[in-house]
Amino acid sequence: MKKTKLRTHWLGAALIVVFLFGMIFPFFWILITSFKPDGEIFGDGAFRIFAQHPTLNAYYEVLFNKNILTSVRNSLIVATTTTVYIIVIATFTAYAISRFRFPGKNLLLGLILAVSMFPQMIVVGPVYNMFLNLHLTNSFAVVLPYSTITLPIAVWILVTHFNQIPIALEESAKIDGASPLQILYKIVFPLAAPGVFTTAIIVFIAAWNEFLLTITLNSDSAYHTVPVAISFLRTQFQILWSEVSAATVIVTIPTLVIVLLFQKKIVSGLTSGGVKE
């Protein structure tokens, strides 16, 4: 019995190691590729782990000649703005759906979830025509259509979290004379904070990684975000893989720092909405 448990333990540990290796390996390979000269990325040295002649030329190119930091700034502006206004709208929307009873409530939730599954190609055409007519192309107004990909999922997640908050707490506060706004800001929102915070992180990462809307609406390189800027690291005949790898390492740092700093809150927020008291 003990041997069987021990074998099961080691088998589980081996599976976890293999899974983690599969998850980490792509990032590791991108990191080591960023230090390789172009001649070692392909050919005989393609599968060599460490470069024979390591260089920082790719980092120098993307930082000073390809101006990747401008794209990082643009992504921070767009992702932060999107996160703030989406969280505000989604919080009040989700609270209303969670607390109020009205005909078609479940149908509304189903439609919200369905909207999040729409292919972006369906949305891009009408949005581009509207932005062109309103002269909003090549601007940070691109944050507005970002709601099509972030708002539905934010509302859906927050509805789950608000459903876990006992309505008796609000009724008790109402009996004690608290106004609706006081109930929201002093009772409901503090209890829903883990879910709101987790949703904000998810929205930020989704906005940070968005590609199709930005490349369609902003043809001016001055407004390119990180994914779009990386896609232009190429010549007429080849993709500059060393520069792409270096840029990927650079732009991964902000999201990696956010996840590492707030991983406990992210996990608590994800689990708190999935367990019913």
pLDDT in tens, 12-34: 888 888 888 888 888 888 888 88
The count of structural domains within the chain is: 1
**Structure token pair of residue 222:** 């001055």
Containing domain of residue 210, as a range? 67-272
Q: How far apart are CA 156 and CA 162, in angstroms?
A: 10
Asked if residue 228 belongs to a domain, the reply is yes
Asked if residue 47 belongs to a domain, the reply is no
**Structure token pair of residue 121:** 């190609």
Q: How many CB atoms lie within 10 A of CB 245?
A: 24
pLDDT number for residue 268: 60
Asked if residue 206 belongs to a domain, the reply is yes
215: domain CATH number is: 1.10.3720.10
Residue type, 175: I
pLDDT number for residue 275: 47
Q: How far apart are CA 190 and CA 176, in angstroms?
A: 18
pLDDT number for residue 3: 65
Nearest CA among 259, 256, 266 for reference residue 31 = 256
- Tens-binned pLDDT, residue by residue, of the chain (277 aa): 566 766 777 888 888 888 888 888 888 888 888 888 877 777 666 677 777 788 888 888 888 888 888 999 999 999 999 999 999 999 988 888 888 887 888 888 888 878 777 777 888 888 899 999 998 899 999 899 988 888 888 998 888 888 888 888 888 888 888 887 788 878 888 888 888 888 888 899 889 988 988 999 998 888 999 999 988 888 777 888 888 888 888 888 877 787 777 666 666 655 554 444 4
Asked if residue 156 belongs to a domain, the reply is yes
What distance lies between CA 167 and its chain's CA centroid? 31
Asked if residue 78 belongs to a domain, the reply is yes
**Structure token pair of residue 20:** 């983690």
Those residues with Cβ within 8 angstroms of residue 172's Cβ, 6 or more apart along the chain or in another chain: none
Give the bridge partners for 234, in sequence order: 239
Q: How many CB atoms lie within 10 A of CB 57?
A: 14
Q: pTM score, two decimals?
A: 0.82
Asked if residue 52 belongs to a domain, the reply is no
